[in-house]
Amino acid sequence: MPSRESDWPYIKNNLHTYLKVGAEEVLLCIDEENSDQFVSKLDSLYDSIKTEYPDASLLKILRVEKRSDYSFHQAWVRRKGFLEAKNDVILTGDIDLYINKCVQKAVNIVGKDNIGLASVQKFPLQSNLKGSLSTIWRLVYQVFIRSTYFGVFTGLYAVYRPYWLETEDEQIKNLQNVKYAGIKGSLLGEDTYLRDCMQKKYKCVYLRCAGAIDFGIALHDNAHMQFAMGRLYFHQQKPLWQVLAAAFVYYHPDSIVGYFYEKERARKGLANMGDVV
């Protein structure tokens, strides 16, 4: 579970949920450069959690060094946690998630029947106006549409370490931080890259149960990411009705803007797929 000092409000509110789902240990991965004062705050918080929940899991704080061969530091932080974990079955998520015991369903199936990864669903709950509108729509969508048919891949998943080590290649080191990479290279997250490598050889299962409330802002909900997706849709030659349907289903209105922006660039002879991915 990658974390940093700026995540303290999430850590304070959500860490105990990771410690209460029956894990043998919980690794909180932080940057090596984080202050000793921050580590002391984490230790104190853990002591208070143990007082309230005596059966809480063992917490290990892992300070992770920067590596020059990784373009995206968080990709290395998460993978360092994978390497240091005690067991081969690993649940990973972000600290802005308030998780529940539904995650055990994912943990219980990876490493069996050729399953290398299993994710559970997240329910978004944001405090700003746009996030609230998105939450209301996604509640309707998940209850009446998605839950009826299928789950999707999310950043809350269990992975079987031997299969991960076997399948993920060195290109993970070249992946950019999706928050700051702009349009070029901004559409593939490090979790998705792991999944894409895994599914070439092993099963990836997307469970429908809601394993967490997500208090963070999903990267693909950011306006620039929606805009980039719309541009990509144009180059993928998606018909307009599919673009509108995707914008409606995922509440991504800026993807429509990106689609027509790229269409206008194409009319002027300026559109280039290489500018988008």
Task: Write down the domain spans for the chain.
Answer: 2-221, 222-277
Q: How confident is the model at residue 184 (pLDDT cuts 50, 70, 90)?
A: very low
How many residues comprise the chain?
Answer: 277
Q: Decide if pLDDT at 149 tops 50.
A: no
DSSP per residue, 81-125: HHHH-SSSEEEE--TTEEE-TTHHHHHTTTTSTTEEEEEEEEEE-
- pLDDT tens-place string over residues 93-148: 998 899 999 999 999 999 999 999 999 988 777 655 455 555 566 556 655 555 44
Percent of the chain with pLDDT over 70: 82
pLDDT at residue 113 in the model: 96
Of 196, 192, 210, the residue nearest 120 (C-alpha): 210
pLDDT at residue 185 in the model: 47
Q: Between residues 152 and 41, which one has the greater pLDDT?
A: 41
pLDDT at residue 246 in the model: 79
Q: Measured between alpha carbons, how far is 198 from 191 in angstroms, rounded to an integer?
A: 11
DSSP state of 202: S
Q: What is the mean pLDDT of residues 46-55?
A: 90
pLDDT at residue 274 in the model: 54
Q: Between residues 201 and 55, which one has the greater pLDDT?
A: 201
Query: What global pTM score does this model have?
Result: 0.78
pLDDT at residue 33 in the model: 82
pLDDT at residue 264 in the model: 87
Q: Measured between alpha carbons, how far is 225 from 210 in angstroms, rounded to an integer?
A: 24
CATH class in words for 2-221 = alpha beta
Q: How confident is the model at residue 152 (pLDDT cuts 50, 70, 90)?
A: confident
Q: Decide if pLDDT at 186 tops 70.
A: no
pLDDT at residue 148 in the model: 44
Tokens of 214: 């997500």
- pLDDT tens-place string over residues 199-226: 999 999 999 888 888 887 666 677 777 8
pLDDT at residue 187 in the model: 63
Q: What is the pairing mode between strands 2-3 and 25-31?
A: parallel
**Whole-Å CA distances, 200 to 8, 117, 230:** 37, 12, 27
Q: Decide if pLDDT at 16 tops 90.
A: yes
Q: Decide if pLDDT at 276 tops 80.
A: no
